[in-house]
Amino acid sequence: MLKRHQWIIAVAALALGAVPVRAEMVTVTIEKMMFSPAEINARPGDTIEWINKDVLAHTATVKGDWEVVIPPGKSGSVVLKTVTSIDYYCRFHPNMKGRISVSAQ
């Protein structure tokens, strides 16, 4: 059951033709020394989760910005904040590359 203020916000959003967009979880699997899918689309606020199925540690590294370390059999994640295109790679295995396109739509 919605609380009164939630109900008012929901009705106002519908009346204005706007429906709030919920953040989503986008999953990238690491297996056989590859990011899969290698290219993904996301929106600001979405979480990217890398699941490492390899027996080696990997990273999702954006040069000069952020890095997520993903141990073998574990996962790591980052929340996207801005509209941009992001190229990332594994610092331990630089031939492993991925791309995230972050758009408002």
pLDDT in tens, 23-73: 899 999 999 999 999 999 999 999 999 999 999 999 999 999 999 999 999
The residues pairing with 79 across neighbouring beta strands, listed in sequence order, are 47
Task: Answer yes or no: pTM beyond 0.95.
Answer: no
Flag whether pLDDT at 85 surpasses 90.
Answer: yes
Contact 62, 80 (CB under 8 A): no
| Domains by residue range for the chain, with CATH | 23-102 (2.60.40.420)
